[in-house]
Chain A
C-alpha cells in the first residue's frame, strides 16, 4: 500500500512510524516543507521517498500525489487543511485522511468554535467577545476583567495572553497590558487574510489541561487515550506559550487526574461539536479531531480550543502505546468505513514525551535557528525510547540543523510515570548540539511531583464544579453586584473601568 504523508514535523514523524509499522506493508512517501532527516529516513526505509515543497499550496501537493498515486493521503498539519489541500486532493479522487477546508474552520477560527458551542448550548463553553477592529477591542478592554486575549485565528501556538485579573490593586497595570496585547494580536492577524475577526477576548479559567483526540469518518467516532500537553516553555510551568514542550499519557484512556465521568463528558462534548460542525459546514468530517480541554471549576470539562488534526506533540505520546494497526484505522476513516474499528492500547503502559528545543525558542527564533545538532538514536533506543525529528533540516554538509522551533521529541514509556520520567531524562541527554549552542527541555514533564500537583489541582476544581452542578449553576460566573445596576452576569466585564492613558 502506498501512503503519502503531508507535513514536516514531529507529529508527522510519529505518524510515519505508526504508518510504517503497519501489517499492510506501507510504502511511505512524504511531502514536507523542508528536508526533515527523520521523515526522510522513514520514507526511504519503507521504499518510499521524501519530497520537499510548500505543503500549503494545493497544486504542489496534488502534483506529488499524481506522481506517487498513493492509496491514501494523510494530511498532518492544520495549515494545509486551511488552504484547501484536502479538498483539492479529494476533488481529484484521492482518499484523504484529514479535515476539509470548511471542516478545519473549527480550528482556524476560534471565534467560529466558540460560536458553535453557544449556538447549540454545548457544555464547556466560555464567554467571549470577538473584534474586527482594533479600536473596538481597545474600547472593550477598558471594561474587561479577568480575561484571556488571543488571536482569533490559529497561529500555531503563540500570541495567547492569560491576563489573570483578580486583584483590583493590580488592575490598572493589567489594563495596559491587555490593551497592548490586543494591539499586537491585531498586527499579527492582519498578516492572514482568512478570518473575519482578529482579536478574541474570552473568560479566563484555570484548572488542568488535557487533550482528547479522536479519529472519525464523519459518523463513527473512535476515541484515543487522553494526553496532557505542557504549553509553557520552561520548567515549573513558567514562561512563554509554546506549541507544547512535552506530554504524558496513560494509564488506560484516562490520565491520573481525570476520572471516568469527566472522560465521558469530554467525549460527549467532542462528539456533539463534531456533529454540529458537520451540520453547520454541510460537509463530512474525515480525519483526526481533538478537543483541547481544561478541567475547570466552572464546568468540569471545558473547551479551550479544537484541533482539526492530531495534536503535536500529543500524538507522539500514543506512539509507544498503540498496539493495533493504526494505518488501518486511518485508511478506514478516509474511506468512510470506520464503523466498528478499534485502537488497541496498552493500558498498563504510560508514556512521557519531551521536546528538546534550541535556546531562543520560542521568542528569538532567529537565534535558535541554524545550529548543527545530533542525536544518538541507538543509545536512545537502548533505553527503550524513540526519538522523533521535528524542526530540523538536513544541511548541504549532511549535518542536521535546527530550524528555530522544537527540534526533537524523545518518546519513552514504562509501567509508571516515575520510570518513564527517569528514562526520558536519560534519553534527552543523547540529543546534543555540535556548536555548543544550548538546547533545553522541561525536566519536570512526567515527574511524579508534577503529576501529584495536577492531581491536587484537579481535586480543587472538581469540588467547585460538582458543587456548581448540584446548585444548577454550571458554566455561570457572576462578577459583581452593582447596586442600582444589578448583578453583572458577564464574566468578561470588570467592575473597574480604565480610560485610555492619553485621555
Chain B
C-alpha cells in the first residue's frame, strides 16, 4: 500500500525540501519502503530515491511528485519518460499508456481537454489513481474512474497547490484542504493554469474499505467521511457480538483504538490503555517481509500490567490478516500479564482474498481466515472467542456515511460485479 503527493509552487523562492520531508513522514504509516521523488532536472524529468545528500542539493524545482512505494514493485508504479514521469498509487500495467496520454496532452494548448478526452476512453479499464510531473513543471493528478483510493486537493495562500492521497498531509503542510477529487476527476496544474477536468466515473466506482479500515490516518477525511468516525461506528457495531462478561476493552495499537472506543461506548465496558509502543514508524501489517513485520509488532506492544491482570479482556483490532499480531497480543496477555479470558473482536469481516486491484498487497496464502475455520483460529490464537463483523454491519455503517465500498478482499468483489 502506498501514497503520493504533489506540490506546485506558483511563487518562487520556496525551498521544497522541508515540505517533502514532512509530507513523506505523514505518508509513512501507509507502508512502502521507497521514498521516490520526481521533478525537473535540467530539461528532463528525473525520478530518484529521496533522502540522500545528492537529492537535497538539487536546485529548486517548482513542481515535485513524491511517493512512498513498495520497493519490489516500483516498476509497476512508475513510468518515467524524458518529459513526464507518472506515479500511480497501485501497480498497473496501463501506466505506459497513461504516460503517453499525459505527454501528448501536455504538449497541446488545452491539456485538460485532451486529458479528459483520452482518459475517458479508458473509463472502464482499471487505470489507477496517478500523479504526473513534467519537465515544464506541470502537475497532473487524476483519480481512478473506479475510485478505490482517495485523492485530495489543497492550497497554501497564493503560493502553492498540493494534491495528496491523504488530507492529513495537506494539513500537516500548513495548507488548507480544498476538496477531494471524484472518481474520474483530475486536475492540471501549472504556473499559468489550473484546470479541473472530468473523464467520467465508472458505474462500478467504489471506495476501498481497507483505506477506511486500516490504511488512512485517523485524522484524514476520505470522500467526506471522517476516518476516525467511521472506525468508531464500526467499533460500536461490534457490541452486538459481545456475549461473555468482560471487564475491560483494549485496542491493538494504534489503528484499533477508535474501534475499541466504539465498542466501549456501545457496551459500557471500560476502555483501558493496554500497550505502550516503542516503534513510531510504519504500521506492522504493511511491512514487506515477515521479519520486519514481527519486529514492528514486538516493538509496539509493551503491555500496561496492573489494569489487565486477572481480568477478562476484549481485544479489538481492525482486521485479521495472518493473525500474527493478535497471536502476539494474546500470548502477552495470557502468559506475561495473566489475564483470565481473552475475547478477540475484529472490526471487519473475514479477509479471504487478495485484492484484485492491487490496492492492498495481500498474499492469499497467508490470510488466516481463508484457510482456517473459526475454531481452529481460536485454538491457534489461544483465545476464548473470536468475533468478526458481518457484511451487513459494514453495509449499514457505509449507508450511514453514504459511501459505496469495495470489499473484494472480504470476499465481495462489488467493483467487479457484472464484469
Contact = CB atoms under 8 A, between A and B. Distances in A.
Contacts of B174: 164-167, 170
Contact of B22 (A160, A169, A180): A169
Given A234-B193, A443-B196, A163 B22 contact: no
Nearest to A179: B13
B10 A167 contact: no
Nearest to A166: B174
A144 B149 CA distance: 39
Nearest to B172: A167
B159 A161 contact: yes
B285 to A, nearest CB: 28
A233 B11 CA distance: 13
A444 B156 CA distance: 18
Contact of B178 (A163, A238, A240, A438): A238
A235 B197 CA distance: 11
A341 interface: no
B195 interface: yes
A167 B109 CA distance: 39
Given A173-B15, A176-B15, A180-B13, A239 B196 contact: no
Contacts of A166: 174
Given A164-B157, A167-B174, A235 B196 contact: yes
Contacts of B161: 234, 238-239
A232 interface: yes
B157 A163 contact: yes
B11 to A, nearest CB: 7
Interface string A424-442: 0000000000001110100
A173 B189 CA distance: 22
Interface string B169-180: 000111110110
Interface residues of B, number: 34
B52 interface: no
B155 interface: yes
Given A176-B13, A176-B15, A440-B195, A237 B157 contact: no
Contacts of A163: 157, 159
B155 to A, nearest CB: 5
A232 B158 contact: yes
A244 to B, nearest CB: 13
B18 A241 contact: no
Contacts of A234: 161, 193-195
B390 to A, nearest CB: 35
A30 interface: no
A241 B192 CA distance: 12
Interface string B1-39: 000000000111111011100100000000000000000
Interface in A435-464: 436-438, 440, 443-444, 449, 453
A370 to B, nearest CB: 16
Interface string A357-378: 0011001100100000000000
Contacts of A449: 179
Contact of B10 (A181, A235, A240, A443): A240
Nearest to A236: B178
A238 B189 contact: yes
A177 interface: yes
Contact of A236 (B10, B13, B173, B194): B194
A206 B195 CA distance: 25
A165 B157 CA distance: 11
Contacts of B192: 359-360, 363-364, 367
Contacts of B245: none
B153 interface: yes
B172 to A, nearest CB: 7
A172 interface: yes
Contacts of A438: 109-110, 193
A183 to B, nearest CB: 9
Contacts of B187: 235-236
Nearest to A204: B157
B194 A241 contact: no
A204 to B, nearest CB: 9
A236 B153 contact: yes
Binding site secondary structure of chain A: mixed
Contacts of B179: 236, 449, 453
B22 A170 contact: yes
B334 interface: no
A163 to B, nearest CB: 7
B191 interface: yes
A239 B194 contact: yes
Contacts of A181: 13
Nearest to B15: A173
A368 to B, nearest CB: 9
A349 interface: no
A173 B17 CA distance: 9
Contact of B155 (A169, A236, A367): A236
B14 A177 contact: yes
Contacts of A364: 191-192
A162 interface: yes
A311 B203 CA distance: 45
A180 B13 CA distance: 7
Contacts of A177: 11, 13-14, 159
Interface in A146-161: 160-161
A443 B12 CA distance: 27
Interface in B89-117: 109-110
B193 A161 contact: no
Nearest to A360: B192
B18 A170 contact: yes
A440 B19 contact: no
B158 A173 contact: no
A488 B373 CA distance: 63
A460 to B, nearest CB: 12
Nearest to A449: B179
Interface in B161-218: 161, 172-176, 178-179, 187, 189, 191-196
A167 B110 CA distance: 37
A436 B13 CA distance: 32
B359 to A, nearest CB: 26
Contacts of B176: 206
A238 to B, nearest CB: 5
Nearest to B110: A438
A173 B19 contact: yes
A181 B17 CA distance: 19
A238 B170 CA distance: 14
Nearest to A167: B174
Given A167-B174, A170-B19, A161 B194 contact: no
Contacts of A443: 196
Contacts of B109: 436-438
Contact of A173 (B14, B172, B175, B193): B14
A237 B155 contact: yes
Contacts of A236: 153, 155, 178-179, 187, 194, 196
Please provide the 7 A-B residue pairs with the shortest distance between their CB atoms, ordered closest to farther.
A234-B194, A162-B157, A236-B178, A180-B13, A238-B155, A238-B161, A241-B158
Given A233-B194, A235-B187, 4 more contacts: A177-B159, A234-B194, A237-B178, A440-B193
26 contacts: A160-B158, A162-B158, A163-B157, A163-B159, A164-B157, A165-B174, A167-B174, A170-B19, A173-B14, A176-B13, A176-B15, A233-B194, A234-B194, A234-B195, A235-B187, A235-B195, A236-B196, A238-B155, A359-B193, A360-B192, A363-B191, A363-B192, A364-B191, A438-B109, A438-B110, A443-B196
